[in-house]
Each structure stands twice: as structure tokens, then as C-alpha cells.
Amino acid sequence: MSRIGWVGIGVMGRSMCGHLLAAGHEVRVFTRTKASAAGVLEAGAVWCDRPGDVAEGSDFVFTIVGYPSDVRAVYLDEGGLVDRAAPGTVLVDMTTSEPALAVEIHAAAAARGVHALDAPVSGGDLGARNAALAIMVGGGQEPFDRTVPLFEKMGKNIRLMGGPGAGQHTKMSNQILIAGTMIGVVESLLYAVRAGLDVDAVIDVIGSGAAGSWSINNLGRRIAKDDFDPGFYIKHFVKDMGIALAEAKRMRISLPGLALAEQLYVAAMAQGLENMGTQALYTALKNMNAAR
């Protein structure tokens, strides 16, 4: 059994960390609010008072936090993970973050004999609960191979995509696709409702045809139930789209569809929906059409 450190017990991190505990690994945890770690502490995890403390004696450290600024602080601040990890430790950031920051962390870790992987995930809260996440990884082959047995406790589709930052670039491709797809999902269902159709029946039909997607078959069902609780927060999705647009600008490519999706989600945040799930774009567009 491996000794594992874990930072970030949120909507997805709670289940992901729980799978490692259930597999019998020794886990030390830190998260911003100790109350949110109650479930994993009851399951046997050991609480640490600071992020860097989880690295003490750990073979692997996993993080899944909110924003690139959080990632930078957890890894690179004095007394953070890079400072505290012993040589040979594998640090795995599963946050969706900036590719350049992943490269920076890899270099800082390597200078101390520590391995770093960027390994963002896709699948939302459902994928996390069912240990069915897609895990896209950037970094070295040897630390990746060592980490695969732990990744397999959390996901099904696990792939080394290239060197440092490649996992984050792959996740940006994922988010670009989801952004455009979500516009189609919510507009399709808004149209169906206005036309007086049974939304679940519509999803039954179009979700099994050429228009089928994970988003319509999973998030569409939540919309049909007026369930807008977060499997993934709108505020974090806006962060991801901002990273992708910045990378696109750096690479001198135009992504007008992504730019439109970002603006629609910014409008949703302006309506106070930032802490709802990404499917709450439906609510934002419904509100825009309410007076018509």
C-alpha cells in the first residue's frame, strides 16, 4: 500500500480521495475547510494543518484545487509541496490549470529530485463517484507508470499525452468541446420546452442518434429534473475557458465558438449562477428569453 498525501476535498476530490482510502492506502489530507473533509476523515484519512504537511512521508501527493493561483501556492510557496516532498516522491496535480504553470512546477520539482505530473480529469461528479474519470497526463513515463495503479482507482481512460503541460493542453481541448456542446444542449432543450414537448422523451430520441453526447444524456437529464446542483461549477468552467482562450491567443488561433460560450457563461455568473453546475446555462438562457 502506498502512502498518499491529498490536497483538495471538493465536489470531485471527495470521491477520488475516498476511492484510494477504500483501496487500503494510508492517506493524509488537507483542504481549506476541515468540515468538508469529514467524510474522508471518518473513513480513516489523517488530517494535516497545512498543504505542505501532506508531503511528509508520502510516496505520492495528489492535488485538486480551484484556480491556478491555488495550485501555485500549494506547490511553489515556501513550505509548499515542492519544498517538503522527499526525493522520488510523485506530485500529481489533477486541477485544471495553466499548461505553463505545469511546466514550471515540473522544473522546480525536478531540481529537488521530485517528479511532477499534470493530470486533469473529465467526467464530473458522476465520473468521480463511479471511478470512471478520463485522466489526461503530462510528464515523464517512469513516474506515470508508477502512478497508474492509483489512477486506476479513480478512472477508466488513463493516457500519458506527452511531456509536462500536455495533460493540461489535452484538458483545454476537452473544455473547448464541452463549451460548444453545452450551448447546443441548453438551446435544444429550451426549444423543446417552448414547443411543449416532453423533455425526457426528446433526450431519449436525440440522445441515441447523431446528436448524442455525454452532455445531453447526463446533464440534459438533470435539466429535465430542474437539477442545477454542481457536478462542476460554472465559476470553474469560466476559469477553464479563460485559460483556453489565453493559450489560443498565444498560439495565434481564433476560437470564436469558445469566445461565445465564455460570454454566455459570464452572463450566467452575472445572474448569480456561478456556484451552480454548468447545466445552469439553461437557466441563464431561459431568463434571457423570459420576457419574450
Q: So which residues are the catalytic ones?
A: 171
> How far is it, in rounded angstroms, from Cα 123 to Cα 129?
10
Torsion angles phi and psi, residue 79, rounded to 5: 80, 10
Which residue matches cell numbers 480521495? 17
Please state at what angle helix 281-288 crosses helix 166-194, rounded to 10 degrees: 40
Strands 121-122 and 133-138: antiparallel
Instruction: Supply the Cα-derived Rg of the chain in whole angstroms.
Output: 20
**3-state secondary structure string across the chain:** CCEEEEECCCCCHHHHHHHHHHCCCEEEEECCCHHHHHHHHHCCCEECCCHHHHHCCCCEEEECCCCHHHHHHHHHCCCCHHHHCCCCCEEEECCCCCHHHHHHHHHHHHCCCCEEEECCEECHHHHHHCCCEEEEEECCHHHHHHHHHHHCCCEEEEEEEECCCHHHHHHHHHHHHHHHHHHHHHHHHHHHHHCCCCHHHHHHHHCCCCCCCHHHHHHHHHHHCCCCCCCCEHHHHHHHHHHHHHHHHHCCCCCHHHHHHHHHHHHHHHCCCCCCEHHHHHHHHHHHCCCC
